[in-house]
Chains A and B, each alone.
Chain A
Amino acid sequence: MDNKGTPSVGVKINRRQFFRISAAGVGASSAALVGVMPTAAQAEVRQYKLTRAREVRNTCTYCSVGCGLLMYSLGGGPKNARAEIIHIEGDPDHPVSRGALCPKGAGLLDFIHSPGRLRYPEVREPGSNAWKRISWHEAIERIAKLMKADRDANVVDKNAEGVPVNRWISTAMLTASASSNETGIITQKFMRSLGIVATDAQARVCHGPTVSALASTFGRGAMTNSWVDIKNADFILVMGGNAAEAHPVGFRWAIEAKKQRGAKLVVVDPRFNRTAAVADHYMPIRAGSDIAFLGGVINWLIAHDKIHWDYVKAYTNAAAIVGEGYSFDEGLFSGYDAEKGKYDRASWSYELDAAGNIRTDPTLAHPRCVWNLMKAHYSRYTPEMVTNLTGTPQDGFLKVCELLGETAVPNKVGTILYALGWTQHTVGAQNIRTMAMIQLLLGNIGMPGGGVNALRGHSNIQGLSDLGLLSTALPGYLTLPNEKAHPGFTDYIAKTTPKALREGQFNYWSNTPKFFVSLMKWFWGDKATKDNNWGYDWLPKWDKLYDVLQVTELMHQGKINGFIVQGFNPLASFPDANKVVEAFSKLKYMVIIDPIATETSTFWQNQGESNNVDPAKIQTEVFRLPSTCFAEEDGAIVNSGRWLQWHWKGAEPPGEAKGDQEIIGELFVALRELYRKEGGKVAEPILNLSWPYRDPAAPTPEELAKELNGRALADIPDPKDPTRFLARKGEQLPGFAVLQDDGSTLCANWIFSGCWTQAGNQMARRDNTDTGLGNTPGWAWSWPANRRILYNRASCTPEGKPWDPSRKLIAWNGEKWAGADVPDFKADAAPDSGMGPFIMNPEGIGRLFCVDKLVDGPFPEHYEPMESPLGTNPLHPKVVTSPAVRIFKSDRERLGTHKDFPYVGTTYRLTEHFQFWTKSVRLSAIAQPEQFVEISETLAREKGIAAGDWVKVSSKRGYIKARAVVTKRVKALTVNKQTVHQIGIPLHWGWEGVAKKGFLTNVLPPAVGDCNTQTPEYKAFLVNLQKI
């Protein structure tokens, strides 16, 4: 016991402790029993690992909630230290996410450091079974030569009528919805100068129908309100989406509404999903029968007079009189051409008076006024019919009607959160339209806590849509010229500049010439002059929509040689993946630009059953170029609420990876050099393209963001006061109101104008002050003009007072509109001016009847999915599926019937994963490691399947093998007197990554899309199931 000599401090403590312990007994005896002597250890916690780590702000790269990130890196920032990101957590200052991150966001660290990150350029030579590392120089030179050879051989300079079209179809390009606006806009410039029109972003397979449906109803195609605003709702319907699963952090505001306002949350979905887990009510529905449900709601609201009449009469086209030619009979609207499978939409129009204004009947008595046509149309959608078509129990359906109906009063507001559960159908746009109509009837548009909230997918899919990275679009929802409608500049301006349809309307698209000419000045710089119509002829003109289904079909027919794939995994994303592999195998060359290894990049590899190809027979030359990810770049992305949020680089990319802007820059410079040296077909658009960047091979995010905002090319005098100027030459513009149609302004995207003004980068603002109702106008910047809730004029009565004084967003103060939000209205237009709140519509009001804006009808009608479990349509048995569907012959042959494939398959995401990326992310793979399908207990019993068993799910087009999750959350439904089983099929798997290898889910769904946008019908198709 005793120690000789002078004890050290440590020994002293030991000794003292041990003495203590011995005296007390208990601990010492037990310690002694197990042979452990006390040590000097103190209770030190693990040291806090971030004490001096460098903190950088960024925005999550996954979904459109746009959560704020704090990225921490090793190394305090000296030149000698290379920053290594060691931790990422949420930014507590962020108004939407308030420090939270979903399971994907919380695992971002493993995305940045994924073993799947690409580190250097590679090529897979024709017929080879391996990648070969090459230099950037070799990669760019070889790709540029391949592109030029293909373009010189195939670009079309003029069509048969002699109209310049400058169209290059034989090389297609996909763009990346997780890339920044700055990458997006430089890609737009690059592509159109080359004449590429066979191009799409993920919007095509995602929210395409949202843009069609919402723009045709309200005037703009975007989520109407903002994430935080959901907290102002009294009633929240989640249908056609699974917000808790796909947008967990945005969904927090629904929970907040429940907690703070006592809001009711209702879920209608084929599965009892994660949103349903926290809902007050859940109703099942057969996938693909949403219009039947919602049409039934319209019928119920009318029958029970749950209509916000003052709103409907003032702010919708209910009173407008429709022309005599319009009819609907036995499933067909007037004007159908059975041979072409298309409608002539001329009869779906208003009756106009001599002055060109809409004729109306404010009493709503006229038999052809929109109100009465609508009432008659939906009178067929009785509760019995709804139950018969949807399988939803009638009491459940009526419950939803009642809860929605309660919001028809001025001081109760309901909202809808939806996503791809509505878009990915042949009737996708019409699904959304039906809900948009309901919200107009209830007076819930423009209201805080209301709206039609399209929860967008990718982190910048909103931005890519805004930037026009779609086959027939240009930035700011301008259309790319069409060879028939717009052969010349004057045709284009005449047809894209609408005239007001009622007196005194703002009709904001009347400014189209200013937007377009400013865009042309951005494209062609000084080369764009009034004399050459601002370079109009250099733009490519489209002949038809080159959506991803069209492009795959052309590829399959051997008509496309090159495919540039920027941040997209089409093999996993496109429907009928087996056909897609065949199509890719016919390409001459493919260029992949991606931070991570994708199945697309290795489509030529044999993966056994899941990709049974022979590499030796595939002659495609595949290049794989490593790009940066969000953490390694500056730039802005647009969240679902239209906020442009700037983010900052936290570290260098791995290996030789480069930013997309640099890759596109190098490729363009190499191509331009080839055209300068060798000449070539249709060289003018390339040689005349304005490329004023300090380093032409690497345009910077700042340079591009400033162009997105726009600047004055000459002094812009103030028309109200000739001694003043709206902007001086060379200055950044204050907003789109200053744009000119005389070539004195440049602007790459008019709706983004205001994002980088003379006052600096507005997207980088971080003032999260709440100006009321959760509005934070000082945080980042939102289009248009920093307005946060679209159509907010409609939150007030026609007299200019808020419908609900407790929800005062803006109001007329006697001189102008003002309040917590920026008015989405002409600021000085007095309430008695008669100007309507839907300022993008030439009629100024919301459209219950959407005239000729959609190709498949002015009112939504229920049509069965292309693969229907019923094989009939009880509403009109002669017209089962939508008559306006476009389907290629070869794809029609690959449709199955309910006799061979008796079950309804529906695909979806899981919250643990984001598309096909996160299977390369260890933390995400741990949380959800392996492919599975969800089936009901009834079906499992019938098939002898137990939870965890392997099953095979097959469609006419292919099969997958997966584990079975047997669950009470999926139930058999009775539809049209038959039992319908639904099988839930999560979509995340493939062969690249660290998760368990799996099958591409999209071998199952058919290659057919929404009538208006061709977004594929992933949500309702037919499958069979067997135990293996």
Chain B
Amino acid sequence: MALQSLDILRRSATTTPPPGVRKGVEVAKLIDVSACIGCKACQVACSEWNDIRAEVGSCVGVYDNPTDLSAQAWTVMRFAEHEEKDRLEWLIRKDGCMHCADPGCLKSCPSPGAIIQYANGIVDFHQENCIGCGYCVTGCPFNVPRISKEDSKAYKCSLCSDRVAVGQEPACVKTCPTGAIQFGSKEDMKDYAAERVADLKRRGYEQAGLYDPQGVGGTHVMYVLHHSDRPELYSGLPANPSISPLVSLWKGFAKPLATLALAGVALGSLFHYVTKGPNEVSKEIEDEIEAEDKEGTK
């Protein structure tokens, strides 16, 4: 088991009940778009810390570079020019994994242990278990994971789980020059967001608000938006994100199969018992399973 702060809440393609005794802090990153200058320090700090380097691209006529998320670019700034009633706004949003409470990527992932949700809220990809099927890409309501062309594995922001594990903040948070990115307990971040929203309302942004979409159970990366009624203004941030129907379909299709498999196992066991007699499961294993069962029901 990893560090305590990385207690597992869910593990892809796994139904083993996770350990649940220890209660840690649920963390969150808050991105105050109204204080973001789009300097890309977060992008650079992310690449530096995580030892990833995207290709040197081209200017495509906007400030966005890299122009999209990739296996080597886990967060990118998206710049949108919005003009309304003669007032121009440059809405700059740091895009990347939202660390959903109900993660579509994890739900759709068929490979055990390739995607982990920690008890602190971080959703992390474990490339050693990734089979490169791309279901997480389909499953993500925010279009975040990317499959690497080099190793055919999925990559995305880890919320710097390695830093958080040892008590630090993510690299992007620390480096943010204007304090537009904040990090702390999800509760504190909501309180701080409320202050920011109140300030924005005082400055005339009547629709200012927090983006913590409930369609995915809330997120561990949240935004303060000046126009929370229209998140799509911010380079297409979805208004009501939810897990793709494909994932549900897939689950619907999978469940009967699971039942069938279970029946098969039962049938096999019967034959086994008939032909070989009772299976010799060591006492030790039985005890373990029992103990785990008890934990799991808590």
Contacts and interface: CB of A to CB of B under 8 A. Distances in A.
Interface of A: 1-2, 12, 15-17, 19-34, 36, 38-39, 41-49, 51, 87-90, 92, 99-107, 109-110, 244-245, 248-249, 251-252, 255-256, 258-259, 262, 272, 274-278, 280, 282, 911-912, 922-932, 946-949, 963-969, 994-996
A865 B13 CA distance: 68
Contacts, number: 288
Given A26-B254, A48-B163, A282-B88, A41 B15 contact: no
Contacts of A964: 61
Interface string B43-54: 111011100011
Interface of B: 1-3, 6, 8, 11-16, 34-41, 43-45, 47-49, 53-63, 65-66, 73, 81, 83, 88-90, 92, 110-113, 116, 118, 124, 126, 128-129, 131, 133, 158, 161-163, 165-166, 171, 174-180, 196, 199, 202-203, 251, 254-255, 257-262, 265, 268-269, 272, 279-280, 285, 288-289, 292
A107 B48 contact: yes
B181 to A, nearest CB: 10
B162 A47 contact: yes
Nearest to B57: A929
Given A27-B14, A87-B49, 7 more contacts: A26-B251, A30-B258, A38-B14, A103-B39, A104-B44, A106-B44, A277-B90
Give the residue among B47, B61, B88, B92 with the most A Cβ atoms within 10 A.
Answer: B61
A393 B133 CA distance: 57
A103 B66 CA distance: 13
Contact of B66 (A27, A100, A249, A926): A926
Nearest to A2: B279
A965 B63 contact: yes
Nearest to A272: B88
A939 to B, nearest CB: 14
B220 to A, nearest CB: 15
A30 B13 contact: yes
B178 A244 contact: yes
A262 B254 contact: no
13 contacts: A27-B15, A28-B15, A34-B133, A36-B111, A49-B162, A101-B177, A102-B41, A105-B175, A106-B44, A251-B178, A275-B37, A927-B44, A963-B60
A34 B15 contact: no
A252 B177 contact: yes
Contact of A42 (B2, B43, B179, B180): B2
Contacts of A966: 61
B57 A926 contact: yes
A43 B171 contact: no
B59 A911 contact: no
Contact of B2 (A45, A104, A963): A45
Nearest to A940: B61
Given A90-B174, A967-B81, A39 B112 contact: yes
Contacts of B39: 102-103, 244-245, 248, 274, 911-912
A83 B152 CA distance: 34
Contacts of A100: 41, 174-177, 179
A18 B45 CA distance: 40
Given A43-B116, A947-B60, A25 B178 contact: no
B165 A251 contact: no
User: Top 8 A-B pairs ranked by shortest CB distance?
Assistant: A947-B61, A25-B258, A948-B61, A29-B258, A24-B15, A248-B177, A930-B59, A106-B45
A928 B202 CA distance: 35
Contacts of B279: 2
Contacts of B12: 27
Residue of B1, B57, B59, B90 with most partner-chain A CB within 10 A? B59
Given A102-B41, A103-B44, A969 B81 contact: yes
Given A27-B15, A923-B44, A947-B61, A274 B38 contact: yes
Nearest to B89: A277
A278 B124 CA distance: 32
B254 A29 contact: yes
A251 B112 contact: no
B90 A276 contact: yes
Contacts of A948: 59-61
Nearest to B256: A29
B15 to A, nearest CB: 4
Contacts of B254: 26, 29-30, 33
Given A45-B162, A48-B165, A249-B177, A996 B56 contact: yes
Contacts of A32: 261
Contacts of A34: 110-111, 131, 133
Contacts of B251: 26
Nearest to A24: B15
A101 B88 contact: no
Which of A51, A927, A946, A995 has the largest count of B CB atoms less than 10 A from its CB?
A927
B179 A256 contact: yes
A110 B88 CA distance: 36
Among A17, A102, A280: residue with most chain B CB under 10 A = A102
Contacts of A24: 15, 258
Given A252-B177, A926-B54, A932 B59 contact: yes
A929 B56 contact: yes
A931 B59 CA distance: 7
Contacts of B35: 255, 258-259, 278
Contacts of A929: 56-59, 65
A49 B50 CA distance: 10
B107 to A, nearest CB: 10
Given A16-B285, A965-B62, A106 B41 contact: yes
A932 B258 CA distance: 56
Given A26-B255, A244-B178, A21 B16 contact: yes
Contacts of A43: 1-2, 6, 8, 11, 113, 116, 118, 124, 126
B162 A248 contact: no
Given A103-B44, A106-B48, A274-B38, A923 B174 contact: no
Contacts of A280: 203
A46 B126 CA distance: 9
A12 B158 CA distance: 30
A32 B73 CA distance: 32
Nearest to A43: B116
Nearest to B129: A41
Contact of A248 (B14, B37, B56, B289): B37
Contacts of A99: 174-175
A39 B129 contact: yes
Nearest to B72: A926
A928 B63 CA distance: 8
A21 to B, nearest CB: 6
A78 B13 CA distance: 47
Contacts of A275: 37
B37 A245 contact: yes
A31 B178 CA distance: 45
Contacts of B88: 272, 282, 968-969
Contacts of B38: 274, 277
B229 to A, nearest CB: 20
B272 A2 contact: yes
A274 B54 CA distance: 24
> Which residue of B45, B133, B178, B251 has the most chain A CB atoms within 10 A of its CB atom?
B178
Contacts of B116: 43
Nearest to B204: A280
Contacts of B14: 17, 21, 27, 38
Contacts of A927: 40, 43-44, 65
Which of B176, B254, B259 neighbours the largest number of chain A CB atoms within 10 Å of its CB? B176
Contacts of B90: 272, 274, 276-277, 969
B61 A1 contact: no
B114 to A, nearest CB: 9
Nearest to A99: B174
A244 B37 contact: yes
Given A251-B178, A272-B90, A20 B16 contact: yes
A926 B112 contact: no
